[in-house]
Structure 1
Amino acid sequence: MIIAYADRCSFQRCADEAGANASGERYFATLRELYGAPQIDGRSLKELWSEADDFYYFDSEL
């Protein structure tokens, strides 16, 4: 889940069934920084973006 705030954004990845790969919430200054940053498994969203199944967008002001 990506949440955009006025001054930052956060990313939190869901855990697997065993809970071993839970990420916790991490903050980034910009969406661009988040997109390129390695996550808990060492891979970035840039690398994984094409593997996403669904996208939900709730804020029409962005």
Structure 2
Amino acid sequence: MHQLMHADLARAHLHERLADAERQRLAAYVVRVAKARRAARRAERAREQAQLRLRLLIN
């Protein structure tokens, strides 16, 4: 009986640790996606600025 309870507790603890790790992975992914979107917006603005400068130079 005691061994079964101990095994259940160990299993619950492992499950909790796995769930925590999964949450951390998801949070890290969300941060990476947000940073990538910001970088993409920055790159798009830089491209637009470069195009504008080229147009002004050509005309």
TM-score range, shorter chain: under 0.3
Structure with bigger RCO (C-alpha 8 Å, 6+ apart) = 1
Task: Give the structure with the higher percent helix.
Answer: 2
